[in-house]
Structure 1
Amino acid sequence: MHGSTARRLVLWSVGGLVVLAVFAAFSLVPGPWLKTLVMGVGGPALVLAAPVHLVAQVRFRGRAVRAVGVVERCVDNGPDEPSCTLTVRYTALDGAERLFTDDRAPCRPLGSEVRILYDPAGPSDARLHRSAAAAPVTALVMALVGAVLSYFFWRDHLPG
């Protein structure tokens, strides 16, 4: 198995376990007010935030310009995090050199080239180029988690 594929498989597995752990932790919450807050407000908020997130990401990708940046700094986020904080330098269309930081990036060697996207109308809004599927998948997970939280909160109040 290719290293990148194995890393993705591990990250998705860990992500799934985290979601399950969060749901299991709700059963241990002592006060009903906290469950009410998290499930009654947090669930619907996630459902509503999912399409907002997706639209924002799609709009950014629609106006973004591709460029190649160079890793200037890479700081490991610690043993509990499978990512690092990258500082990337790139040259915008106007010829100005710019820096941006991504705190959820895979670790890269200093000086390595990375593909980025940035908004030409606001070049300080730059991001690492990630798969176009990342935004819909993130929005789907947000909506599903929100729907499950909402269902378990409201199920006793639904007719039937």
Structure 2
Amino acid sequence: MKTILDKSVRDSMPGSHKLMLLSLAVFAVSQFLPWGDGSATATGIIGGVLDFTGGGYMNGTGWELHPQVGVVLVILFAVYLADPDESIPLFKTVGWWLTPVALLTQSQGGATMGTYLGLAALVGAVVAAVIHFVEGRRAKAAAPK
């Protein structure tokens, strides 16, 4: 199985894949910064349905406020460091859109630097998914019929 460590893979990697890896790296770095300053209540996504922080007032780094983020990031990095479009069925159509959702479930915080950096990474993941979709459409259009 080829990975990103192979130069041929890096050279042929589409821009969407590079952007997604960069977004994941930025999201991982953001977890070391404060995500909460105690001024906001953790209500969770969709009105508390996906409240992974346990409620209360948030104060701490991303690792403290998002206990599952380590598992989520390890899985996402493992998927994207391999070639997900080739090795995982249906990933080409569904997986790229599930990645921002997975990051969103780990993005509860206040008005701090970690939150803003995590939001930038989340936006980057959505942009990477859109670019991947456009790249797929162009490849289908250019393919001989």
TM-score range, shorter chain: 0.3 to 0.5
| Structure having the larger proportion of residues in strand | 1
The structure, 1 or 2, with the larger RCO (C-alpha pairs under 8 Å, 6+ apart) is: 2
Give the alignment's TM-score, normalised by structure 2: 0.32
| Structure having the larger proportion of residues in helix | 2
